[in-house]
Copies of this chain bind each other. A is one copy, B any other.
Protein backbone atom coordinates (compact mmCIF):
# COMPACT_ATOMS: atom_id res chain seq x y z
CA UNK A 1 0.00 0.00 0.00
CA UNK A 2 1.68 3.12 -1.15
CA UNK A 3 0.48 6.64 -1.04
CA UNK A 4 -0.28 6.33 -4.71
CA UNK A 5 -2.71 3.49 -4.10
CA UNK A 6 -4.50 5.78 -1.71
CA UNK A 7 -7.84 6.55 -3.27
CA UNK A 8 -8.73 10.18 -3.52
CA UNK A 9 -12.35 11.10 -3.87
CA UNK A 10 -12.05 13.04 -7.05
CA UNK A 11 -9.68 10.64 -8.76
CA UNK A 12 -12.23 7.91 -8.32
CA UNK A 13 -14.84 9.95 -10.12
CA UNK A 14 -13.41 10.41 -13.53
CA UNK A 15 -10.97 7.66 -14.30
CA UNK A 16 -9.80 7.17 -17.89
CA UNK A 17 -12.84 6.66 -20.08
CA UNK A 18 -11.12 4.39 -22.56
CA UNK A 19 -11.82 1.09 -20.86
CA UNK A 20 -12.58 -1.55 -23.40
CA UNK A 21 -15.20 -4.23 -22.95
CA UNK A 22 -12.47 -6.84 -22.57
CA UNK A 23 -10.83 -4.91 -19.81
CA UNK A 24 -14.14 -4.46 -18.06
CA UNK A 25 -14.79 -8.17 -18.30
CA UNK A 26 -11.39 -9.04 -16.90
CA UNK A 27 -12.00 -6.59 -14.11
CA UNK A 28 -15.31 -8.27 -13.43
CA UNK A 29 -13.53 -11.58 -13.00
CA UNK A 30 -10.70 -10.12 -10.99
CA UNK A 31 -12.91 -8.44 -8.43
CA UNK A 32 -13.99 -11.43 -6.37
CA UNK A 33 -10.46 -12.78 -6.67
CA UNK A 34 -8.98 -9.64 -5.20
CA UNK A 35 -11.42 -9.87 -2.31
CA UNK A 36 -11.39 -13.56 -1.61
CA UNK A 37 -7.89 -14.89 -2.07
CA UNK A 38 -6.94 -14.43 1.55
CA UNK A 39 -10.14 -16.05 2.77
CA UNK A 40 -9.43 -18.97 0.47
CA UNK A 41 -5.90 -19.17 1.83
CA UNK A 42 -7.18 -19.22 5.40
CA UNK A 43 -9.56 -22.06 4.56
CA UNK A 44 -6.77 -24.01 2.90
CA UNK A 45 -4.52 -23.60 5.91
CA UNK A 46 -7.36 -24.66 8.15
CA UNK A 47 -7.90 -27.71 5.96
CA UNK A 48 -4.25 -28.70 6.01
CA UNK A 49 -3.96 -28.28 9.77
CA UNK A 50 -7.18 -30.18 10.32
CA UNK A 51 -6.34 -33.20 8.19
CA UNK A 52 -2.87 -33.38 9.73
CA UNK A 53 -4.73 -34.19 12.97
CA UNK A 54 -2.38 -32.21 15.16
CA UNK A 55 -5.55 -31.37 17.04
CA UNK A 56 -8.31 -33.85 17.74
CA UNK A 57 -10.81 -33.61 14.88
CA UNK A 58 -13.76 -33.14 17.20
CA UNK A 59 -12.18 -29.90 18.38
CA UNK A 60 -10.81 -28.76 15.05
CA UNK A 61 -12.74 -30.53 12.30
CA UNK A 62 -11.85 -30.12 8.65
CA UNK A 63 -13.77 -27.57 6.58
CA UNK A 64 -15.36 -30.43 4.66
CA UNK A 65 -16.77 -31.90 7.86
CA UNK A 66 -18.21 -28.53 8.76
CA UNK A 67 -19.80 -28.16 5.36
CA UNK A 68 -21.25 -31.63 5.64
CA UNK A 69 -22.67 -30.81 9.02
CA UNK A 70 -24.15 -27.61 7.61
CA UNK A 71 -25.78 -29.55 4.80
CA UNK A 72 -27.19 -32.17 7.14
CA UNK A 73 -28.55 -29.65 9.58
CA UNK A 74 -30.09 -27.68 6.76
CA UNK A 75 -31.69 -30.80 5.33
CA UNK A 76 -33.17 -31.78 8.66
CA UNK A 77 -34.54 -28.29 9.15
CA UNK A 78 -32.70 -27.94 12.47
CA UNK A 79 -30.47 -25.16 11.21
CA UNK A 80 -33.22 -23.19 9.51
CA UNK A 81 -35.40 -23.37 12.61
CA UNK A 82 -32.63 -22.12 14.83
CA UNK A 83 -31.70 -19.38 12.39
CA UNK A 84 -35.29 -18.21 12.37
CA UNK A 85 -35.51 -18.20 16.13
CA UNK A 86 -32.20 -16.44 16.75
CA UNK A 87 -32.78 -13.98 13.96
CA UNK A 88 -36.05 -13.01 15.59
CA UNK A 89 -34.42 -12.45 18.95
CA UNK A 90 -31.39 -10.69 17.56
CA UNK A 91 -33.42 -8.42 15.31
CA UNK A 92 -35.78 -7.50 18.12
CA UNK A 93 -32.84 -6.72 20.38
CA UNK A 94 -31.15 -4.77 17.62
CA UNK A 95 -34.29 -2.80 16.79
CA UNK A 96 -34.82 -1.92 20.44
CA UNK A 97 -31.17 -0.90 20.73
CA UNK A 98 -31.48 1.43 17.79
CA UNK A 99 -34.75 2.82 19.04
CA UNK A 100 -33.10 3.61 22.35
CA UNK A 101 -29.53 4.49 21.45
CA UNK A 102 -30.17 6.79 18.52
CA UNK A 103 -32.42 9.34 20.24
CA UNK A 104 -30.56 9.12 23.54
CA UNK A 105 -27.23 9.49 21.76
CA UNK A 106 -28.54 12.50 19.88
CA UNK A 107 -29.77 14.08 23.10
CA UNK A 108 -26.47 13.38 24.84
CA UNK A 109 -24.61 15.18 22.14
CA UNK A 110 -27.16 17.89 21.69
CA UNK A 111 -28.40 19.02 25.04
CA UNK A 112 -26.30 19.86 28.02
CA UNK A 113 -29.30 19.77 30.34
CA UNK A 114 -29.83 16.16 29.31
CA UNK A 115 -26.21 15.14 29.17
CA UNK A 116 -25.11 16.38 32.56
CA UNK A 117 -27.32 14.14 34.68
CA UNK A 118 -27.70 11.22 32.26
CA UNK A 119 -24.15 10.74 31.05
CA UNK A 120 -22.64 9.69 34.42
CA UNK A 121 -25.30 7.02 34.78
CA UNK A 122 -24.68 5.66 31.31
CA UNK A 123 -20.93 5.76 31.72
CA UNK A 124 -21.29 3.81 34.94
CA UNK A 125 -23.65 1.26 33.43
CA UNK A 126 -21.60 0.78 30.32
CA UNK A 127 -18.64 -1.23 31.65
CA UNK A 128 -20.83 -3.59 33.68
CA UNK A 129 -20.73 -7.03 32.04
CA UNK A 130 -23.93 -8.14 30.37
CA UNK A 131 -23.75 -11.50 32.10
CA UNK A 132 -23.68 -9.81 35.49
CA UNK A 133 -27.18 -8.56 34.76
CA UNK A 134 -28.56 -12.04 34.25
CA UNK A 135 -29.85 -12.50 37.81
CA UNK A 136 -31.58 -9.15 37.73
CA UNK A 137 -32.85 -9.73 34.19
CA UNK A 138 -34.49 -12.94 35.34
CA UNK A 139 -35.88 -11.14 38.36
CA UNK A 140 -37.44 -8.44 36.21
CA UNK A 141 -38.26 -10.21 32.99
CA UNK A 142 -38.45 -13.88 33.88
CA UNK A 143 -36.84 -16.69 31.98
CA UNK A 144 -38.64 -16.15 28.70
CA UNK A 145 -37.49 -14.52 25.54
CA UNK A 146 -37.76 -11.13 27.26
CA UNK A 147 -34.63 -11.75 29.29
CA UNK A 148 -32.72 -12.88 26.23
CA UNK A 149 -33.75 -9.75 24.42
CA UNK A 150 -32.89 -7.64 27.45
CA UNK A 151 -29.35 -9.01 27.51
CA UNK A 152 -28.97 -8.44 23.77
CA UNK A 153 -30.38 -4.95 24.10
CA UNK A 154 -28.30 -4.01 27.08
CA UNK A 155 -25.12 -5.25 25.46
CA UNK A 156 -25.57 -3.75 22.05
CA UNK A 157 -26.84 -0.23 22.69
CA UNK A 158 -23.42 1.16 23.57
CA UNK A 159 -21.60 1.57 20.28
CA UNK A 160 -24.49 3.35 18.64
CA UNK A 161 -25.15 5.42 21.74
CA UNK A 162 -21.64 6.71 22.22
CA UNK A 163 -20.82 6.97 18.53
CA UNK A 164 -23.92 9.06 17.95
CA UNK A 165 -22.93 11.32 20.80
CA UNK A 166 -19.37 11.62 19.50
CA UNK A 167 -20.73 12.29 16.01
CA UNK A 168 -22.88 15.09 17.25
CA UNK A 169 -20.19 16.78 19.28
CA UNK A 170 -17.92 16.54 16.24
CA UNK A 171 -20.33 18.32 13.92
CA UNK A 172 -18.84 21.50 12.56
CA UNK A 173 -20.85 24.16 14.44
CA UNK A 174 -21.28 26.10 11.24
CA UNK A 175 -23.99 23.69 10.12
CA UNK A 176 -26.03 24.36 13.20
CA UNK A 177 -25.54 28.05 12.72
CA UNK A 178 -26.72 27.80 9.15
CA UNK A 179 -29.75 25.82 10.28
CA UNK A 180 -30.59 28.41 12.90
CA UNK A 181 -30.18 31.30 10.51
CA UNK A 182 -32.61 29.55 8.18
CA UNK A 183 -35.21 29.32 10.94
CA UNK A 184 -35.12 25.54 11.18
CA UNK A 185 -37.42 24.02 13.77
CA UNK A 186 -35.89 21.77 16.39
CA UNK A 187 -37.35 18.67 14.84
CA UNK A 188 -36.11 19.49 11.38
CA UNK A 189 -32.72 20.43 12.81
CA UNK A 190 -32.57 16.96 14.34
CA UNK A 191 -33.65 15.09 11.28
CA UNK A 192 -32.27 17.18 8.46
CA UNK A 193 -29.07 18.64 9.93
CA UNK A 194 -27.84 16.94 13.08
CA UNK A 195 -28.42 13.35 12.06
CA UNK A 196 -27.06 13.63 8.51
CA UNK A 197 -24.07 15.60 9.71
CA UNK A 198 -23.30 12.91 12.28
CA UNK A 199 -24.09 10.10 9.88
CA UNK A 200 -20.54 8.79 9.40
CA UNK A 201 -20.45 8.18 13.14
CA UNK A 202 -24.00 6.90 13.31
CA UNK A 203 -23.49 4.39 10.53
CA UNK A 204 -20.28 3.12 12.11
CA UNK A 205 -22.19 2.82 15.37
CA UNK A 206 -25.06 1.00 13.69
CA UNK A 207 -22.65 -1.54 12.24
CA UNK A 208 -21.05 -2.09 15.61
CA UNK A 209 -24.36 -2.35 17.40
CA UNK A 210 -25.63 -4.79 14.83
CA UNK A 211 -22.54 -6.95 15.20
CA UNK A 212 -22.74 -6.84 18.97
CA UNK A 213 -26.33 -8.00 18.91
CA UNK A 214 -25.03 -11.19 17.26
CA UNK A 215 -21.94 -11.44 19.41
CA UNK A 216 -23.95 -11.79 22.60
CA UNK A 217 -26.38 -14.39 21.25
CA UNK A 218 -24.56 -17.33 22.84
CA UNK A 219 -24.40 -15.63 26.21
CA UNK A 220 -28.03 -14.60 25.96
CA UNK A 221 -29.42 -17.86 24.70
CA UNK A 222 -27.75 -20.04 27.32
CA UNK A 223 -29.75 -18.00 29.78
CA UNK A 224 -32.81 -20.20 29.44
CA UNK A 225 -33.38 -21.18 25.85
CA UNK A 226 -33.63 -24.58 24.28
CA UNK A 227 -33.44 -23.22 20.76
CA UNK A 228 -31.55 -20.76 18.66
CA UNK A 229 -28.05 -20.67 17.26
CA UNK A 230 -26.52 -19.80 20.62
CA UNK A 231 -28.15 -22.80 22.21
CA UNK A 232 -27.16 -24.92 19.24
CA UNK A 233 -23.51 -23.98 19.64
CA UNK A 234 -23.54 -24.53 23.39
CA UNK A 235 -25.31 -27.84 23.03
CA UNK A 236 -22.92 -29.03 20.33
CA UNK A 237 -20.06 -28.01 22.55
CA UNK A 238 -21.33 -30.14 25.37
CA UNK A 239 -21.44 -33.10 23.00
CA UNK A 240 -17.97 -32.27 21.68
CA UNK A 241 -19.35 -31.89 18.19
CA UNK A 242 -16.76 -29.47 16.91
CA UNK A 243 -18.14 -29.43 13.40
CA UNK A 244 -21.52 -28.32 14.70
CA UNK A 245 -19.95 -25.62 16.86
CA UNK A 246 -18.08 -24.26 13.88
CA UNK A 247 -21.10 -24.65 11.62
CA UNK A 248 -23.00 -22.49 14.08
CA UNK A 249 -20.23 -19.92 14.14
CA UNK A 250 -20.14 -19.81 10.36
CA UNK A 251 -23.89 -19.42 10.18
CA UNK A 252 -23.74 -16.41 12.48
CA UNK A 253 -20.76 -15.03 10.56
CA UNK A 254 -22.66 -15.26 7.29
CA UNK A 255 -25.87 -13.81 8.69
CA UNK A 256 -23.93 -10.89 10.08
CA UNK A 257 -21.92 -10.45 6.94
CA UNK A 258 -24.82 -10.51 4.53
CA UNK A 259 -26.76 -7.90 6.44
CA UNK A 260 -23.61 -5.82 6.72
CA UNK A 261 -23.14 -5.97 2.96
CA UNK A 262 -26.70 -5.48 1.90
CA UNK A 263 -28.08 -3.14 4.49
CA UNK A 264 -25.18 -1.08 5.78
CA UNK A 265 -23.01 -0.92 2.69
CA UNK A 266 -26.12 0.13 0.80
CA UNK A 267 -27.04 2.73 3.38
CA UNK A 268 -23.54 4.11 3.22
CA UNK A 269 -23.56 4.21 -0.55
CA UNK A 270 -26.77 6.20 -0.82
CA UNK A 271 -25.79 8.61 1.93
CA UNK A 272 -22.35 9.54 3.10
CA UNK A 273 -20.53 8.12 0.10
CA UNK A 274 -22.85 9.87 -2.32
CA UNK A 275 -22.51 13.11 -0.41
CA UNK A 276 -18.73 12.89 -0.43
CA UNK A 277 -18.60 12.63 3.37
CA UNK A 278 -16.80 9.30 3.13
CA UNK A 279 -14.73 7.60 0.47
Interface residues of A (CB under 8 A from B): 1-3, 5-10, 34-39, 42, 55, 59-60, 107, 110-114, 116-121, 123-136, 139, 155, 158-159, 162-163, 166, 169-170, 173, 176-177, 180, 186, 189, 200-201, 203-204, 207-208, 211-212, 214-219, 222, 230, 233, 237, 242, 245, 248-249, 252-257, 260-261, 272, 277-279
Contact A113 B36 (CB under 8 A): no
Cα–Cα, bound, A189→B4 (Å): 13
Contact A120 B8 (CB under 8 A): no
Which 4 pairs show the lowest CB-CB distances between chains A and B? A127-B256, A1-B111, A38-B117, A166-B204
Chain B residues in 8 Å Cβ range of A119: 35
Cα–Cα, bound, A107→B1 (Å): 8
Chain B residues in 8 Å Cβ range of A254: 124
Cα–Cα, bound, A6→B115 (Å): 11
The contact of A211 among B158, B166, B214, by CB within 8 Å, is B158
Chain B residues in 8 Å Cβ range of A245: 132, 135
The contact of A124 among B124, B180, B257, by CB within 8 Å, is B257
Known contacts A162-B207, A260-B123: A59-B139 contact under CB 8 Å: yes
Distance (Å) between the CB of A34 and the closest chain B CB?
5
Chain B residues in 8 Å Cβ range of A128: 214-215, 249, 252-253, 256
Query: In the complex, which of the residues A9, A39, A176, A249 has the most CB atoms of chain B within 10 Å of its own CB atom?
Result: A249
In the complex, the chain B residue whose C-beta lies closest to that of A180 is B3
The contact of A129 among B136, B252, B279, by CB within 8 Å, is B252
Chain B residues in 8 Å Cβ range of A126: 211, 215, 256
Contact B35 A117 (CB under 8 A): yes
